Amino acid sequence: MILVSEVFAKDFKSIQEIANIAWTDTYKTILSKAQIEYMLELFYSDGALLKNLNDGHHFLLATENSKPLGFAAYEPHYHSKNQIRLHKLYLLPKAQGKGVGKLLIQEVERKAKENNDETISLNVNRFNKAYLFYLKNGFQIIAEEDLAIGQGYLMEDYKMEKQL
């Protein structure tokens, strides 16, 4: 049975391990190795994750038999709107296609409703097939966005939303 639970700083190691494996697998044909390493440090260092937590992000960890499979990070009332922001959702390659991502999305939807948020927003790399997963789960592409993240790197994303 797959369980989804909220986790805190003590679980950052599991999140970092999943991110390292998932990012390498997901982005190896999209981004350079140097950019992947830069972004992992930028987004998943202890300091970055702790800042996320202190800034109001919540982390969910999906496990099966106490083994981590994937995680999500969300922020209620994003920019003081009635919107929840899905900042991160990554799965180990072996967990893909088994409903783990859908369970994480459903938990974020449940949290959104608890907080009276009316939409879920996210960004996803335009060249990452994960955007198809989001479309299948009721999200719509609302815009394209290119974000400079330092060292000459660019995130080329779709902005997506789902009405609840």
The tens-digit pLDDT sequence of the chain (164 residues) is 999 999 999 999 999 999 999 999 999 999 999 999 999 999 999 999 999 999 999 999 999 999 999 999 999 999 888 999 999 999 999 999 999 999 999 999 999 999 999 999 999 999 999 999 999 999 999 999 999 999 999 999 999 999 99
CA dihedral 66, 68, 70, 72 (to 10 degrees): 70
Polymer length in residues for the chain = 164
The sheet carrying 153-163 orders its strands as 2-7, 58-64, 67-75, 83-91, 119-125, 153-163, 140-150
Q: Can you give the pTM of this predicted structure?
A: 0.96
**What does the alpha-carbon distance between residue 164 and residue 111 come to, in Å, rounded to a whole number?**
11
